[in-house]
Amino acid sequence: MSNPVDSKKPIHEDVDRFRAAEKYAAYLETVEGRLRMELAFANLQEFLPQASLRVLDLGCGPGTTAMGLAGLGHQVTLLDSSLAMLDLAKDAAKQAGVADKIDFKHGDAVQPPDLIQNKSFDVIICHNVLEYVDDPVATLWFASRAMRSRTAFMSVLVRNRLGEVMKAAIQTGDLAAADGNLTAEWGHESLYGGKVRLFSAERMHAMLRTASLEMVAERGVRVMSDYLPSQISRVNEYARILELERKLGRMPQFTAIARYAQFIVRRADLLGEDGA
């Protein structure tokens, strides 16, 4: 497939939004943040073979996913445009004793040419990146060029539009906002402020096809945990909430309304090749 966008068009992340690296790292320690990370990681693990893999984590943030993968014996390359995020990831790697399994790269997560040209990765992580880039399809296409064989796959996590509908209706009781979110292209980013792109399942499927990516599996992340009544302790009942979320996230009817949607995809144009 040819590049679906003009290669001369600048593609960049909104770097200003990620300067407060410690603020984001603190969010990942909350129940909501932990659930998002742990559910996405559990879904990813379903498709990881036992053999050691080369993994590329685009827009890695403080490296939470990478620590888990390195702990399983995989070699992980972290790429982020924020030096502050990479510094947090380096500290986390040292504390976890996996620094020898991780390479750190500072650069643009949406078009890393040197990494793409190598085409040497078995797994690519693209979690909560497409919400912030100028051209999500181009980002998917460029990232997929780093896959080295037909068995390589990418995990894509995005904010689900219907999840924003449910949040407005159930969590805040804002029926007007719920109705508006049915067709909204953008939502509000509560952690850093500003806009965040929303994705429908139909739009994601179309974008993946345009980028020559073929669906392997689809999962919902955080289906019901945001709406539990106050008498349920999110901390004390965390294990049970996580277990129930795992079950619901595998069911299509609940995947459709989850706060986040996760897609496991492969390059369609590599499926007929033996790969290296």
List, for residues 209-235, the tens digit of each pLDDT value: 999 999 999 999 999 999 999 999 999
Q: Looking at the domain that runs over 15-270, which CATH code has it been given?
A: 3.40.50.150
Classify the C-alpha dihedral 44-154-78-21 as positive or negative: negative
Fill in the amino acid letter for 248.
Answer: L
Report the SS3 class of residue 161: helix
What pTM does this model have? 0.88
Please state, in angstroms and rounded to a whole number, the distance separating the CA atoms of residues 127 and 192.
17
For the chain, which residues make up each domain, given as ranges? 15-270
Q: In this structure, how many other beta carbons lie within 10 angstroms of the beta carbon of residue 138?
A: 22
pLDDT band at 14 (very low <50, low <70, confident <90, very high): very low
- pLDDT (tens digit, 9 = 90+) per residue, 56-99? 999 988 999 999 999 999 999 999 888 889 999 999 999 999 99
Residue with tokens 């159930």: 170
AA identity, residue 141 = W
Rounded Cα distance, 261 and 55, in Å: 21
Per the CB < 8 A criterion, the answer to whether 238 and 215 are in contact is no
DSSP state of 170: I
- What would the two tokens of residue 62 be? 């403080």
